[in-house]
């Protein structure tokens, strides 16, 4: 699967990863206790129940990763065996390469299993599904679900952040060690009927680990994240003096690195992510990392194409390159000093489809800044994105964007009858102006996206970067 196809394949589920703060409480409706008399809208209840049912399918995709990878290796072995003896003699190292590939797959599988064992999907839906007395839908109950729904691409799920509680106490991350056993994970019912496209999403997560948390991804982060961070730093110079730090929303936060870096600058930063594939992984990295470079994966083993050398294809990536809870940044106002600015109460990741989670009246004018990075082209109708961004940004607030206009739903086979509105950059700016935004800065930046830096083929984008400010009394 090439880079853009993988990026444009929308996973179906979402979750949450960090401490339940006041800021995030305001970001969505939650299922309160029945005795409080709070009413749950039928559609919200229906969507949440369906998405809970699809969770086992996502876990299945992760668990089926080694089998799918083994099939690839066997296919390559069969091709090698078809060579004549003379041609085989020119490639005497190939049998060892296949052994090394299996070792890499085993290492990747070890990480995936540890990640899943740390994951506790505590969806508080029991009173709506007739489950138990505890108010928590357990992994065993999810495993018994008969229907896997893979079509929920435009919905959100109302889950509580308590599935991975994250607190920064100045020295370490504290979290609830609630997990399920390897026996539960390896239940045969979770390892059947997994489409290859879902396993490809797992492979895509491994490549995103490089982008967000590997030292090798620093070049990409410098291309994509650094301009955004520098812009925020210059726009809010007095934020450390404010009693309430400025609030920044990051839709499409992926594995959370950009949202974390914004928090490190002294902002209240909330990353919003739609993909449960991504959120399970970001939860593990943010909540369970003990030291830098604790884990190793081999993200580039899935294709033999465009490799300069076998060693490039089989090279390991260690991550995270920083400890999220102990990340330190230079204090730009006091040269030579550093600030301890890791995971704090001002940082969180929240679940859901951006249009649903943040299109509530409670979100109107709540954010000093919205940051979108490789995000605005992931919708069927970008006008809805721009309208919602305008709604949540306070008057005088800013929208900072970086990315191309590849359009997630354009020309996807089988979706010919589905809506996809593909605006030119000129039209995007015209719509933004209609919703009260004025362009203050605009330029093009040459970037990659999850590219293998040692591959002979790289997709590069002339990404548009802008800073827009919302006029007072905007539409």
CA 180/CA 177 separation, integer angstroms: 10
Q: Which two tokens stand for residue 159?
A: 């889950």
Are the beta carbons of 408 and 8 closer than 8 angstroms? yes
Distance (Å) of CA 176 to CA 49, 162, 164, 229: 25, 9, 7, 32
Tens of pLDDT, residue by residue over 50-109, are: 445 667 888 999 999 999 999 999 999 999 999 999 999 999 999 999 999 999 999 999
Tens of pLDDT, residue by residue over 390-405, are: 999 999 999 999 999 9
* Helix ranges (DSSP H) in 332-472: 354-357, 382-392, 425-434
* Helix ranges (DSSP H) in 255-295: 257-264, 276-288
Q: Which two tokens stand for residue 176?
A: 């609830």
Are the beta carbons of 264 and 341 closer than 8 angstroms? yes
pLDDT band at 21 (very low <50, low <70, confident <90, very high): very low
Report the predicted TM-score, pTM, of the whole model to 2 decimal places.
Answer: 0.76
Range 350-362 average pLDDT? 90
With a CB cutoff of 8 Å and minimum separation 6, the contacts of 164 are 16, 17, 18, 119, 120, 175, 176, 283, 286, 287
CA nearest to 312, candidates 322, 303, 300: 300
Are the beta carbons of 323 and 292 closer than 8 angstroms? yes
Range 213-231 average pLDDT? 97
Q: Which two tokens stand for residue 470?
A: 């919302």
The more confidently predicted of residues 229 and 338 is: 229
Are the beta carbons of 190 and 56 closer than 8 angstroms? yes
Are the beta carbons of 472 and 29 closer than 8 angstroms? no
CA 385/CA 355 separation, integer angstroms: 7
Range 10-27 average pLDDT? 34
pLDDT band at 418 (very low <50, low <70, confident <90, very high): confident
CA 283/CA 204 separation, integer angstroms: 17
DSSP 244: S
Are the beta carbons of 354 and 408 closer than 8 angstroms? no
Q: Which two tokens stand for residue 352?
A: 């859901």
């Amino acid at each position: 699967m090439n880079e853009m196809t993988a990026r444009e394949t929308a996973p179906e589920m979402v979750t949450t990863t960090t401490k339940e703060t006041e800021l995030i409480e305001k970001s969505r409706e939650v299922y309160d206790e029945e005795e409080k008399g709070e009413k749950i809208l039928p559609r919200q209840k229906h969507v949440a129940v369906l998405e809970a049912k699809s969770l086992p399918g996502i876990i299945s995709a992760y668990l089926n990763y080694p089998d799918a990878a083994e099939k690839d290796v066997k296919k390559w072995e069969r091709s090698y065996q078809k060579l004549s003896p003379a041609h085989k003699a020119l490639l005497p190292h190939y049998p060892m390469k296949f052994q090394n590939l299996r070792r890499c797959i085993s290492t990747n599988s070890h990480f995936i299993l540890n990640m899943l064992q740390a994951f506790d999907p505590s969806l508080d839906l029991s009173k709506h599904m007739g489950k138990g007395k505890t108010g928590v839908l357990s992994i065993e109950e999810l495993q018994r679900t008969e229907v896997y729904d893979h079509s929920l691409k435009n919905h959100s799920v109302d889950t509580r952040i308590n599935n991975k509680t994250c607190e920064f106490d100045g020295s370490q991350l504290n979290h609830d060690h609630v997990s399920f056993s390897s026996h539960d994970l390896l239940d045969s019912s979770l390892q059947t009927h997994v489409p290859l496209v879902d396993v490809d999403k797992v492979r895509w997560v491994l490549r995103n680990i490089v982008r967000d948390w590997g030292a090798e991804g620093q070049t990409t982060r410098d291309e994509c994240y650094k301009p955004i961070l520098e812009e925020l730093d210059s726009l809010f110079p007095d934020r450390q003096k404010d009693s309430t730090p400025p609030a920044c929303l990051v839709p499409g936060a992926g594995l959370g690195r950009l949202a974390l870096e914004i928090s490190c600058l002294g902002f209240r930063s909330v990353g919003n992510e739609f993909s449960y594939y991504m959120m399970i992984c970001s939860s593990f990295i943010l909540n369970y990392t003990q030291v830098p470079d604790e884990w190793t994966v081999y993200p580039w083993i899935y294709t033999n194409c465009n490799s300069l050398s076998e060693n490039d294809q089989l090279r390991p990536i260690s991550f995270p390159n920083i400890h999220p809870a102990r990340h330190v940044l230079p204090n730009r106002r006091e040269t030579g000093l550093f600030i301890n600015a890791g995971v704090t109460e001002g940082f969180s990741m929240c679940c859901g489809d951006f249009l649903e989670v943040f299109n509530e009246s409670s979100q109107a004018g709540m954010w000093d800044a919205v940051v979108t990075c490789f995000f605005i082209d992931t919708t069927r109708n970008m006008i809805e994105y721009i309208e919602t961004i305008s709604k949540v940004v306070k008057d005088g607030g800013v929208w900072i964007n970086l990315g191309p206009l590849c359009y997630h739903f354009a020309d996807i086979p089988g979706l010919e009858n589905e809506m996809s509105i593909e605006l030119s950059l000129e039209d995007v700016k015209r719509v933004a102006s209609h919703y009260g935004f004025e362009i203050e800065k605009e330029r093009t930046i040459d970037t990659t996206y999850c590219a293998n830096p040692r591959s002979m083929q790289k997709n590069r984008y002339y990404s548009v970067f802008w800073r827009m400010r919302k006029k007072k009394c905007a539409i």
